[in-house]
Amino acid sequence: MTATIADTIYERLSQQIVTGQLVAGEKLRQDHIARAFETSHVPVREALLRLEAHGLAHSEPRRGMRVTALDPAEIREVIEMRVALETLALQHAVQNMTPAEVRAADDARIACDAAADMPAWEARNRSFHRVILAPCAMPRLLHAIDDLHIASARHLFAHWRQKWAQRSDADHAAIVQALKRKDAATACEILKRHIRRVR
């Protein structure tokens, strides 16, 4: 599927909000964004509505669209929802996973470990989780998990950016080993522990 200009705007702005380049309360001006992307207001409006749907922006009457505030209380809810939904997806994914998909998970794990900075690591970490869960073949569930990953990433950048250091992720490696054995119970237990470490 070819990316549209609205997709490009959404991806760029969502990344800037997640990483903190666009701060809470900052106004998202349609005319400025349209000029920056050399486009009309139509794709900009579409991108802003998507940001709002994903909880990254909110519309204020007569004040336009602004970046949402980061709620510290939200992270507990996000983690518990991720534990519930990602383990559900993984249970179904393990049964469907082909040898090629297990190799793709291992490749994603290696790429994540090799990330040289936090933005690269966060994108590759998200990719690893997507690769191991995608074989569940439940699009609504995966869409809900994607939204939770966006919220989780904002908290990671806000609280852990200064503490981030390149390292090998032992949990990712253990999950891949469980996937190779088609051991769903072990993979899910490791994933639960792994997600709860975000706290």
User: 128-174: per-residue pLDDT in tens?
Assistant: 999 999 999 999 999 999 999 999 999 888 877 777 888 899 999 99
Mean of per-residue pLDDT scores for the chain: 92
Q: Are residues 179 and 146 in the same domain?
A: yes
In total, how many domains does the chain have?
Answer: 2
Query: Same domain for 63 and 89?
Result: no
53 and 86, same domain (yes or no): no
| Same structural domain, 188 and 91 | yes
pLDDT bracket for residue 1 (50, 70, 90): low
Structural domain range at position 122:
74-196
**Does residue 98 share a domain with residue 191?**
yes
- Average of pLDDT values for 86-114? 97
Asked if 102 and 159 sit in the same domain, the reply is: yes
Same structural domain, 98 and 188: yes
Mean pLDDT computed over 28-39: 94
Residue pair 55/150 in contact by the 8 Å Cβ criterion: yes
pLDDT value at residue 111: 97
DSSP-assigned states of every residue in 145-170: HHHHHHHHHHHHHHHHGGG------H
* Domain final position from 67, 86, 107: 67
pLDDT band at 7 (very low <50, low <70, confident <90, very high): very high
Model-wide pTM > 0.75 = yes
* pLDDT score of 157: 87
Sequence-distant (6+) residues with CB within 8 A of 73 are none
d(CA 195, CA 199): 8
Q: Are residues 62 and 89 in the same domain?
A: no
